Chains A and B, each alone.
Chain A
């Protein structure tokens, strides 16, 4: 392959045509409240891990929905499972349980 001093950039945008909807369905069966999220950010506002780093738990919902495995893997280890998010969620999303199941799902796929 020719070398011209640069590489051709790869698209960064989410291509929803590539996503595997079955993974989402499987998660929703385990944590039905996943669907209720309204992305209000109350969880992030109270998050303990957020105080010390860049973790944004609100984003988990969208990352999972679009099957953004790479982004999820980076994020998932930052949570300390304190469960405050679950207490404050105005829609009753069981975020703690969600994190546990997503971690499992990511591990299973490996």
Chain B
């Protein structure tokens, strides 16, 4: 048994996520990603269970592991009790750990994901917040969203929100001491390390040092026809 398979297996979720696959295709049949990408979760599960190191490495460097939308529809159906979506999450985790994610366009997007989600958590304690959902970045949200974000201070209280306020309520500012605890937890559990790894990997691969330039590149680039 080689290294990569062992790395996958080290993840605490692995044991539950893969028992044995009989290639019935029930996961691919209802997979939203298989409907719109050239993507087949069954094949990924089968590749892992075959334990071929070269194939697993190719997978970790591939576009295909980044197509899954983590809806977990596959978990509900698998007649062998496997969880393809969790195997994907494990592959992504190892791909980032090993630095392989930079080999694919979709993998490189993790730089943008890190800035947009993880950094937001560390900065303000939310995954998503109107302040970080700028209309220019989300024109597909439409004019009502534009209107809301432009007038949020004046209108949010109508819905009982406590926008940027102290105390409880929707969209309140999260207390400084709480933010410190979140930051400590991220540091102690490898959350920050992963962010650093993604950042260094992406910058070295693309040779783009400027955050904004790199962000715009990976956020918008789509060379596949899909």
Residues on A close to B: CB < 8 A?
Answer: 4-6, 9-13
A4 partner residues in chain B, CB cutoff 8 A: 139-140
Count A/B pairs, Cβ under 8 Å: 20
Q: Roughly how many angstroms separate A12 CA and B224 CA in the complex, as a whole number?
A: 14
Interface residues on B, range: 10 to 19
Q: Please tell me if the beta carbons of A12 and B35 are within 8 angstroms of each other in the complex.
A: yes
A11 partner residues in chain B, CB cutoff 8 A: 35-36
B226 partner residues in chain A, CB cutoff 8 A: 9
Q: Roughly how many angstroms separate A16 CA and B34 CA in the complex, as a whole number?
A: 16
Q: Roughly how many angstroms separate A71 CA and B210 CA in the complex, as a whole number?
A: 42
Chain A interface mostly: loop
Of chain A, the residue at the smallest CB distance from B220 is A5
Q: Roughly how many angstroms separate A30 CA and B140 CA in the complex, as a whole number?
A: 52
In the assembled complex, B37 has its CB within 8 A of some CB on chain A: yes
Q: Given A5-B220, A9-B226, A10-B36, 15 other A-B contacts at CB below 8 A?
A: A4-B139, A4-B140, A5-B139, A6-B140, A6-B222, A9-B36, A9-B37, A11-B35, A12-B34, A12-B35, A12-B36, A12-B37, A12-B38, A13-B34, A13-B35
Q: Roughly how many angstroms separate A79 CA and B139 CA in the complex, as a whole number?
A: 48
Q: Give 20 A-B contacts (CB < 8 Å), ordered by A residue.
A: A4-B139, A4-B140, A5-B139, A5-B140, A5-B220, A6-B140, A6-B222, A9-B36, A9-B37, A9-B226, A10-B36, A11-B35, A11-B36, A12-B34, A12-B35, A12-B36, A12-B37, A12-B38, A13-B34, A13-B35
Q: Roughly how many angstroms separate A6 CA and B225 CA in the complex, as a whole number?
A: 11
CB distance from A65 to the nearest CB of B (A): 16
Q: Roughly how many angstroms separate A24 CA and B119 CA in the complex, as a whole number?
A: 56
Tell me the residues in window 31-78 of chain B with beta carbons closer than 8 Å to chain A beta carbons: 34-38
CB distance from A71 to the nearest CB of B (A): 12
Q: Roughly how many angstroms separate A103 CA and B59 CA in the complex, as a whole number?
A: 34
CB distance from A7 to the nearest CB of B (A): 8
Which 3 pairs of residues, A with B, have the shortest CB-CB distance?
A9-B36, A4-B140, A4-B139
Q: Roughly how many angstroms separate A4 CA and B137 CA in the complex, as a whole number?
A: 9
Q: Roughly how many angstroms separate A17 CA and B226 CA in the complex, as a whole number?
A: 23
Tell me the residues in window 1-52 of chain B with beta carbons closer than 8 Å to chain A beta carbons: 34-38
Of chain B, the residue at the smallest CB distance from A6 is B222
A10 partner residues in chain B, CB cutoff 8 A: 36
Q: Roughly how many angstroms separate A9 CA and B38 CA in the complex, as a whole number?
A: 11
B139 partner residues in chain A, CB cutoff 8 A: 4-5
